[in-house]
Amino acid sequence: MDKAALAERYARVKAQLPPGVELVAVSKTRTVEEIKALYDLGQRAFGENYPQELRDKHPLLPSDIDWHFIGTLQTNKVKYVAPFAHLVHGVDSKRLLDELNKRAAATGRQLGVLLQVHIAQEETKHGFLPAELRELCSGGRFRQRWPNLVFRGLMGMATNTDDHGQVGREFGGLAALRAELAQNAALAEEPFTELSMGMSGDLPEALAAGSTMVRIGTAIFGERH
């Protein structure tokens, strides 16, 4: 591992972020040594995609890391993540909310979640449709339905395309949806302020649309193997 190159890439990414935008360093497939090297440069928020990988890595790393789970989560894998995750980004079903709430309650903690919205023109990407979220909000207060979850905002992934205008519109739509839902009585007690959007390939568009949390892997660690 080239620590000088890592430090340089990390500094370059951080320099692009306005104050108040949180950087989640996406460490999926990276070794414990690579993560520790970035930790030593001051990074504390890391994001992982695979439940077992996160479960196996987190005991080997410093306990003051905030672990973000950013991948697709199946209900039978929630138990690997819910006991210690700082924030679960990709929540895309009511069933998953029920399971996350149950597991958080079992460990006596409040678990932060972001609702994932399907904003891309791609079948492979997950998430609620905006209409489904409006429907979810009609079922009563989230605080009462899922007392061990804290709804912190929305997450979305834009279409993987060179059309920057399209990417910007997709992120803009996510920002508008967050503002709309935050007014809903169902979310009145929630700190529904976060917009997790932006990766290495679409960072400028995400920041322009009002991202509060970016998930960056390649631009910090280099290409994944």
Residues that bind ligand PLP (CB under 6 A): 26, 28, 49, 70-71, 157, 199-201, 215-219
Give 75 or 200: the residue with its C-beta nearer to ligand PLP.
Answer: 200
Give 49 or 101: the residue with its C-beta nearer to ligand PLP.
Answer: 49
d(CA 202, CA 59): 32
Which residue do the tokens 């000088």 mark?
4
Give 65 or 214: the residue with its C-beta nearer to ligand PLP.
Answer: 214
Least CB distance from residue 89 to ligand PLP, whole Å?
A: 7
Least CB distance from residue 201 to ligand PLP, whole Å?
A: 5
Give 107 or 218: the residue with its C-beta nearer to ligand PLP.
Answer: 218
Least CB distance from residue 103 to ligand PLP, whole Å?
A: 21
d(CA 81, CA 111): 10
Give 115 or 186: the residue with its C-beta nearer to ligand PLP.
Answer: 115
Residue 152 tokens read as: 């912190």
Q: Which residue is nearest to ligand PLP (CB)?
A: 217
Distances (CA, A) of 105 to 79, 136, 149, 162, 209: 12, 21, 9, 43, 35
Give me the amino acid identity at 64: D
Least CB distance from residue 139 to ligand PLP, whole Å?
A: 27
Least CB distance from residue 30 to ligand PLP, whole Å?
A: 10
Residue 79 burial (C-beta neighbours within 10 Å; 0-12, 13-18, 19+): middle
d(CA 125, CA 87): 20
- Give Rg (Cα) of the chain: 17
